[in-house]
């Protein structure tokens, strides 16, 4: 009580008559403002945190230095990549290709879609659980309470947009002087902030967050469509568009106007929307800090899901437990617009690599196949990830655990087969041997399906074991081994594919090797064992400790 009473002298705000409006257990008089409530909360938190000003400055210094080093490394890598890329043939109007500056424009459009989609899923204005419990019920104005939350995401989006566009323009392209790169980065930062502020304005009108995120997903999907139109119409910009410096003033005025409108309408945001946004943001932040990609995906997917549907699916094709499980996975995927857009965009990445002369090569296709395939593969495993979190359907159906794992590969396998035909078809068109590459696409599909299921059912990190100090806090020592489950299958299972890409053609021996590797991947990913490969080899050698419990028979846990 003494600490709280001491805060009343520190936290206050002058009223109309010049007297201090105290905030605290002993406060009397008129109601305080939202700003004084927020300052009192911050002061109480700082009083009990035990952190000094020196520690705060040290943390700020660490963040600034780390960010500067990261940006410098990104610029250096982009510059080295630009220097290593082949010059490519001179593109002319009507040629079926896309210039590198045109590809950068497509990437910027995709970045805008990602920012808008994330803003819609995260709120962007919200209150965390403790803040919502205490603040939202107080008879004070909410503008003073919500201003920091309303500023946070626009500022973060501005920094991310400026850094990404600056690295692309100054590092990858390198066709502008430093001043023009700075202007482009500042313009990108202002546009990024405007996009998030537009999402905030929609939230003040109680717009459904799924609608805002859907607009962002459509903008992201429009990026590869823009690239296809550029190829068809012969759009070949020789350099990244130069942005006039006067446009910064126009953008700054527009952003300031949006910020003022959003600030004046903060009181109109419903409490329900603030609570949901704060919950989603807290869940996403916790997932990022703990490096839990599954939890992050759940937070971003469930936040934009429709709470109610006008009609329910009849599931007319369900005839038994097998079809029920497969239908459930297919329904989960089809109802997630974000994952569908993710798959389509990932399928067009190798196509874009093939139409950009500077990227169309062995290294470009190898990176595109692995990275874009991993992105698409992650989207196909949503049903298995939900089953790992809540294995209700798995345990209700009369199916063995190993059979459930195999059935969970059906939907990822079908989707990744379609993705592989498009992606490997682009490689085959570049190599001049479409049939062989399509054959390799078919036989490599089980690798993607197995990796999706293996990543979905990976065990959680052991937080009870030894911890390792990292910039993101203390993490379990084996967290990297846990995160590698799934990507390790992709890298090892696609070795024959990468060999074929390096050779530039598909020998028969590579196809046979890929068939064998796919069979091994299917067998490994069908297993319900959560042990590492080293532990499984030790058990197979018979060196297990005496008295160890025998493997359970019958239905097993799917977790």
Over the stretch 453-481, which tens digit does the pLDDT of each residue have?
998 888 877 777 777 776 666 777 777 77
Coil, strand, or helix at residue 313? coil
Dihedral, 277, 280, 282, 288 alpha carbons, nearest 10 = -140
DSSP state of 18: S
CA–CA separation, 139 vs 150, rounded Å? 20
- What's the pLDDT tens digit per position in 31-53? 777 788 888 887 777 777 776 77
| 108 touches 5 (CB < 8 A) | no
End-to-end CA distance of the chain: 47
CA distances, 401 to each of 340, 383, 405 (Å)? 28, 15, 6
Could you tell me whether strands 473-476 and 12-14 are parallel, antiparallel, or unpaired per DSSP bridges? unpaired
Question: CB-based burial of residue 472 (10 Å sphere; 0-12 exposed, 13-18 middle, 19+ buried)?
Answer: exposed
pLDDT string in tens for the chain (559-residue length): 444 444 444 444 444 433 444 455 565 667 777 788 888 887 777 777 776 777 778 878 877 888 888 888 887 777 777 776 665 544 444 456 677 788 888 888 999 999 999 898 888 888 877 777 788 777 778 888 888 888 989 999 999 999 888 888 877 776 667 778 888 889 999 999 999 999 999 988 888 888 888 899 889 888 888 888 887 777 777 777 778 888 899 999 999 999 999 989 888 888 888 888 888 888 888 878 777 778 888 788 776 666 666 667 777 777 888 888 888 889 888 888 888 989 999 998 898 888 888 788 888 899 999 999 999 999 998 888 888 888 888 888 888 888 988 999 999 999 999 999 999 999 999 888 899 999 999 999 999 999 999 988 888 777 777 777 766 667 777 777 777 788 888 888 999 999 999 998 899 999 999 999 999 989 888 887 766 555 555 665 655 434 344 444 344 443 3
Beta strands per DSSP E along 472-534: 473-476
Contact criterion met (CB below 8 Å) for 518 and 495: no
Question: How does pLDDT run across 175-214, given as a tens digit for each residue?
Answer: 667 778 888 889 999 999 999 999 999 988 888 888 888 8
Q: What residue has token string 């395939």?
A: 373
Q: Compute φ and ψ for 462, nearest 5 degrees.
A: -85, 95
Helix (H) or strand (E) segment spanning residue 22: strand 20-22
């Amino acid at each position: 009580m003494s600490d709280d009473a001491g805060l009343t002298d520190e936290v206050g705000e002058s009223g109309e008559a010049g007297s201090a409006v105290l905030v605290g257990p002993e406060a009397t008089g008129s109601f305080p403002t939202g700003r004084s409530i927020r300052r009192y909360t911050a002061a109480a938190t700082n009083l009990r945190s035990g952190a000094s000003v020196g520690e705060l400055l040290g943390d700020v210094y660490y963040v600034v230095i780390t960010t500067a080093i990261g940006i410098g490394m990104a610029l250096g890598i982009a510059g080295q990549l630009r220097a290593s890329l082949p010059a490519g043939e001179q593109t002319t109007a009507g040629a079926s290709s896309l210039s590198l500056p045109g590809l950068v424009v497509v990437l910027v459009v995709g970045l805008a879609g990602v920012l808008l989609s994330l803003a819609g899923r995260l709120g962007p204005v919200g209150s965390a659980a403790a803040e919502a419990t205490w603040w939202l019920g107080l008879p004070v104005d909410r503008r003073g309470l919500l201003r920091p939350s309303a500023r946070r995401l626009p500022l973060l989006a501005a920094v991310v947009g400026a850094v990404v566009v600056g690295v692309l323009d100054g590092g990858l392209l390198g066709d502008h002087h430093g001043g023009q790169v700075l202007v482009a980065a500042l313009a990108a930062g202002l546009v990024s902030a405007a996009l998030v502020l537009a999402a905030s304005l929609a939230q003040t009108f109680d717009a459904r967050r799924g609608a805002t995120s859907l607009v962002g997903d459509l903008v992201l999907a429009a990026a590869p469509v823009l690239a296809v139109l550029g190829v068809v119409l012969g759009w070949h910009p020789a350099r990244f568009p130069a942005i006039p410096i006067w446009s910064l003033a126009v953008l700054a005025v527009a952003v300031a106007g949006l910020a003022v409108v959003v600030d004046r309408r903060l009181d109109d945001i419903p409490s329900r929307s603030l609570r949901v946004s704060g919950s989603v943001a807290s869940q996403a932040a916790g997932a990022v800090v703990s490096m839990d990609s599954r939890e992050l995906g759940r937070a971003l997917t469930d936040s934009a899901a429709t709470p109610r549907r006008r009609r329910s699916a009849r599931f007319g094709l369900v005839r038994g437990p097998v079809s029920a499980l497969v239908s459930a996975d297919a329904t989960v995927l089809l109802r997630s617009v974000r994952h569908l857009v993710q798959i389509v965009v990932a399928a067009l990445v190798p196509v874009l690599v093939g139409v950009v002369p500077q990227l169309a090569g062995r290294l470009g296709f190898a990176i595109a196949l692995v990275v874009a395939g991993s992105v698409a593969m992650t989207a196909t495993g949503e049903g298995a990830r939900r089953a790992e979190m809540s294995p209700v359907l798995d345990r209700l159906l009369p199916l063995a655990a190993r059979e459930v794992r195999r059935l969970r590969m059906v939907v990822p396998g079908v989707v990744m087969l379609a993705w592989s035909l498009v992606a490997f078809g682009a490689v085959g068109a570049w190599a001049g041997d479409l049939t062989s590459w399509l054959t390799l696409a078919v036989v490599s599909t089980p690798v993607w399906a197995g990796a999706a299921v293996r990543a979905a059912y990976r065990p959680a990190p052991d937080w009870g074991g030894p911890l390792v100090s990292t910039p993101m806090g203390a993490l379990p020592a084996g967290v990297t081994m846990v995160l590698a489950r799934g990507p390790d299958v992709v890298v090892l299972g696609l070795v024959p594919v990468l060999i074929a890409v390096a050779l530039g053609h598909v020998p028969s021996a590579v196809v046979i090797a890929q068939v064998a590797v796919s069979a091994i991947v299917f067998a490994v990913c069908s297993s319900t064992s959560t042990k590492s490969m080293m532990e499984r080899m030790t058990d197979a050698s018979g060196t297990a400790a005496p008295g160890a419990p025998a493997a359970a028979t019958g239905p097993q846990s799917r977790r």
